[in-house]
Amino acid sequence: MNSYLTSISGYPRIGEKREWKRSIEKYWSGETKQTDFLQEMKELRLGYLRTQKEKGIDMIPVGDFSLYDHILDTAAMFGLVPERFEYDGGSVSLDLYFQMARGSKQAVAMEMTKWFNTNYHYIVPELNKCTPSLVHNRPLDLFLEAKNEAGITGKPVVISPFTFVKLGKGYMPEEFGSTVYALLPHYETVIRELSEAGADWIQIDDPSLQFTLTEEEKEIVTHVYEALSKAKGTSRLLIQTYFDSIDDYTFVTSLPVDGFGLDFVHDRGENASSIEENGFPEEKVLFAGVINGRNIWRADVREKWELLKSMTTYTSEDRLIIQPSCSLLHVPVTTESETKMPEFLKEGLAFANEKLDELQLLQSALREKELLDYVAPVIPGRDRVHVQKEVKQAELDAGDRSRPFAERQVLQREKFQLPLLPTTTIGSFPQTTEVRKKRQQWRKNELSATDYASFIEQETKKWIDIQEKLDLDVLVHGEFERTDMVEFFGEKLKGFYFTQFAWVQSYGSRCVKPPVIYGDVEFIHEMTVKETVYAQSLTSRPVKGMLTGPVTIFNWSFVREDVPKATVMNQIALALRKEVKALEKQGIYMIQVDEPAIREGLPLKKRNEQEYLNYAVKAFKLSVSTVEPDTQIHTHMCYSDFEKIIDSISAMGADVISIETSRSHGELISAFESYHYDKEIGLGVYDIHSPRVPMKEEIIQNIHRALRVLDPKQFWVNPDCGLKTRKEEETVAALQVMVEAAKEVREQIKVTV
Ligand code: GLN
Ligand code: ZN
């Protein structure tokens, strides 16, 4: 039967137990020979295809698999290797490929950045002097491999030249078109060869088509698809979009291809409305992304069934394909690995493989309506957990501090008596292998809780002494008791579940395991008070309390879809507020609430940004608003691009904020030329991502650069981010230089002011 076929646009790479990661890292460390490594990768790849086949998926993607990142694969396939790697043509070797991603002794790695609004990161193509040639038809190889070795006629996946160049850098805006056109003939070859090899559908990922396009862009896109459709032979081309709705729906759906893939989950209903208003082009195939490819909850099959049925008004059953909203790269592999998970929760979850089951279920129920009666009418696990606790209006109203910042500042200055340009750090100090080892032992019950706690105290004491010797003005306890800034709090709050294997790829071989927020988030007991109070007892200088903020905890977790985002964030905020108050009660008068991930949650389209920022700012304010006016609230943010949301950052009302600057290349600093920021602020004065110890002159220069746009009375001196990943020696050396630099500038300012 040819109606309601199922399709997948991408499958997770990492394997059920992160076999992929382990294999890659072993190769990097020299433990595995190249041939063995490639064989291991091939087995994984074919295994993934077989799983999809067994689960009855009709259109299985090939070429979505990667040894690092699919954008890097595309650059390598066209020989787009930056000059510094001294590449001299031909197919890019495996080692060169990894060097591009990770750097080599001679050449720094290519830049990495966020993949749209996900937590996946891709390698940014460097397209200056772009002279591409097709050095390896990678999708073709993978197509043939699937066909010959697994008997699967796969659906090759390529990233469109338009999106590829959009995501790249190194060309002037006016060179955009010529850069796309330089690639085009090579894309034509890729498509032609795939067609000759017998590909039926070819998926061209073009997520950048969802934004409002300029006339010039439309012309380029039209030209691209005209050329590709000439090259396609008997194959059919699919333009695949994801993560949001298509703004220029009628333009995109008039392009000369055979099918369009639309996201019906993250589109705020806009894609369905566009179809209702404008219809769907006859003879074309609609790939309907109805299963959420970015979350882990089981789908409401009945609701999806209705949506798909409604689409048959606009397209016929044999031109309607059911698929997830995007590649399954963004979800873990299978709930089957979760042997410790309570049944009620497991029943409500669908990771990648369970989503394949859902597609099949939907297909059967669409073909035979009676089957729908056998589908559980509610979503079992989720429904059995009682959410949501009312967040009371009275609590929500208390979003503002009792006194305005100007008054708080006076009180706080009096209380803390800090010098001009106070020095501090972001929170964590190096986590040595010993710290990690002790934690492991404690978790395995090989070390008693008291012994572990006293080890943490020792470590804290050591670093309080170091900080005093360094003469830092505001100290931290060092975060030795934490592995991960979300996990630490999630494990202590109600409503969170930590899985065993629900990893997703973040970048390269690095994976993250976001917790699942399945129920009401509530404060149960104090989480940080003991360690912080202990650290404070060792010194007369202020020690900052250190919490992870509600927006970051939210953005780095899997969150339910049936509860409004703002509700979950506010629940987290109200739980954290109790911790903030507990710290204050115990004499901790500087409290830092970190929000490194605030920018990550920003929607893709400008028109939707404000709504998110409003509730993010609100949640942050809720968590800190009830402290006394002379208690100083700090916050910290990292990753670049803050200049765009600077007024929301200001609206959070933190008395002191520290922001990373080294990766924003001065853009952030220049934002303060036009934006008057009135609170206290520390723009990171050195980059902690490198082991290099900065020179005093560099730091002095960085401070002066900031002081051109900020008042010395509002400026703090601190590193860019936490120091957890650095070595002890380099950390001490760098901080020493930083403190000396701050002292020198204080002297200089005294003379000149
Ligand atoms: N306080 C945290 C630390 O220092 C902040 C980490 C972060 O910004 N991601 O590690
Ligand atoms: Zn940071």
Q: Which of 368, 399, 424 is the last residue of a domain?
A: 368
Give the environment of ion ligand 2: residues with CB less than 5 A. Answer: 596, 638, 721
| Residue 427 is assigned to a ligand binding site | yes
> Does a structural domain hold residue 555?
no
Among 57-66, 548-557, 640-649, 725-734, the least confident range: 640-649
Say if 557 falls within a structural domain.
Answer: no
Q: pLDDT value at position 380? A: 45
Kindly identify the ligand whose nearest atom is closest to the C-alpha of 597.
1
* Continuous segment of H or E residues that includes residue 519: strand 516-522
Residue 65 lies in a domain: yes
Q: Is 326 annotated as a binding residue?
A: no
Query: Could you tell me the distance, in angstroms and rounded to a whole number, from the CA of residue 11 to the centre of ligand 1?
Result: 31
Q: Is 386 a catalytic site residue?
A: no
In this prediction, residues 146-153 reach a mean pLDDT of 98
The first and second tokens of residue 287, run together, are 């790939």
253 contacts 280 by C-beta, under 8 angstroms: yes
Average pLDDT over residues 342-370: 92
Percentage of the chain beyond pLDDT 90 is 85
Q: Which residues pair with 633 in a beta bridge?
A: 591
341/474 same-domain check:
no
Q: What is the CATH number of the domain that holds 422?
A: 3.20.20.210
Given a cut of 90, is residue 140 above it in pLDDT?
yes
| 432 confidence band (pLDDT: 50, 70, 90) | very high
CB 15 within 8 A of CB 335: no
The answer to the question of residue 131 being in a domain is yes
Please state, in angstroms and as integers, the Cα–Cα distance from residue 194 to each residue in 45, 70, 131, 150, 686, following that order. 19, 18, 23, 17, 49
Residue 61 above 70 pLDDT? yes
Residues 68 and 176 in one domain: yes
**What is the per-residue pLDDT for 388?**
54
Residue 210's Cβ-side half-sphere holds a number of Cα atoms within 13 Å equal to 24
Tell whether 21 is in a known binding site.
yes
Domain presence at residue 522: no
Are 324 and 469 in the same domain?
Answer: no
Q: Is the peptide bond before 458 cis (omega within 30 degrees of 0)?
A: no
Long-range contacts of 691-694 (CB under 8 A, 24+ apart): 691/726, 691/727, 691/730, 692/730, 693/730, 693/733, 693/734, 693/737, 694/734, 694/737, 694/738
Does some domain include residue 396? no
pLDDT value for 263: 98
Query: Which of 424, 426, 487, 551 is the pocket-test mutation for ligand 1 (most atoms within 8 Å of CB)?
Result: 426
Of 12-21, 183-192, 389-398, 687-696, which gets the smallest average pLDDT?
Answer: 389-398
Q: Is residue 331 part of a domain?
A: yes
User: How confident is the model over 452-493, as pLDDT tens digits?
Assistant: 999 999 999 999 999 999 999 999 999 999 989 999 999 999
Task: Please compute, for residue 437, the number of CA atoms within 13 A of its CA located in the half-sphere on the CB side.
Answer: 3
What's the pLDDT score for residue 665? 63
Same domain, 67 and 213: yes
Task: Record the tokens describing residue 177, joined without a space.
Answer: 């078109």
8-state DSSP, 7: B
Q: What is the pLDDT of residues 666-711, one digit of tens each?
A: 778 888 888 999 999 999 999 898 888 999 999 999 999 999 999 9
Mean pLDDT of the chain: 94
Helical H runs in 297-403?
301-311, 343-346, 352-367, 380-384, 393-397
pLDDT at residue 664 tops 70: no
**322/426 same-domain check:** no
pLDDT of amino acid 1 = 60
What is this structure's pTM?
0.94
User: Based on the domain organization, do 416 and 317 belong to the same domain?
Assistant: no
pLDDT single digits (tens) 602-653? 999 999 999 999 999 999 999 999 999 999 999 999 877 788 899 999 999 9
pLDDT for 744: 98
For residues 418 and 331, membership in a common domain is answered with: no
Q: Supply the pLDDT for residue 108.
A: 86
Minimum-distance ligand 1 atom for the alpha carbon of 597:
9
Q: Which is more confident, 306 or 397?
A: 306
User: Could you tell me if 351 and 432 lie in one domain?
Assistant: no
Helix (H) or strand (E) holding 252, with range, is helix 249-252
Ligand 1 atom index nearest CA of 427: 4
Nearest protein CA to atom 3 of ligand 1, as residue: 722
**Segment (H or E) for 521:** strand 516-522
- Please state which of the ranges 22-31, 98-107, 257-266, 412-421 shows the lowest mean pLDDT: 98-107
What is the extent of the structural domain holding 414? 407-482+529-548+576-749
pLDDT for 392 equals: 65
Residue 380 lies in a domain: no
Asked if 172 and 312 sit in the same domain, the reply is yes
Q: What is the pLDDT of residues 267-319, one digit of tens each?
A: 999 999 999 999 999 999 999 999 999 999 999 888 999 999 999 999 999 99
Distance 260 CA to ligand 2 centre (A): 40
Q: Please tell me what DSSP assigns to residue 493.
A: S
Statement to judge: residues 357 and 428 lie in one domain? no
- Tell which residue, 314, 293, 313, 309, has the closest CA to residue 358: 293
Count of domains observed in the chain: 2
| Nearest alpha carbon to residue 237 among 219, 264, 255 | 255
* Identity of the highest mean pLDDT range in 395-399, 521-525, 667-671: 521-525
For residues 200 and 338, membership in a common domain is answered with: yes
Same domain, 140 and 204: yes
**Residue 570 to residues 99, 521, 553, 623, Cα–Cα distance (Å):** 43, 9, 11, 8
Predicted local distance difference test score (pLDDT) of residue 386: 54
User: CA–CA separation, 427 vs 429, rounded Å?
Assistant: 7
Residue 425 clears pLDDT 80, i.e. is over it: yes
Residue 391 token pair? 């967040």
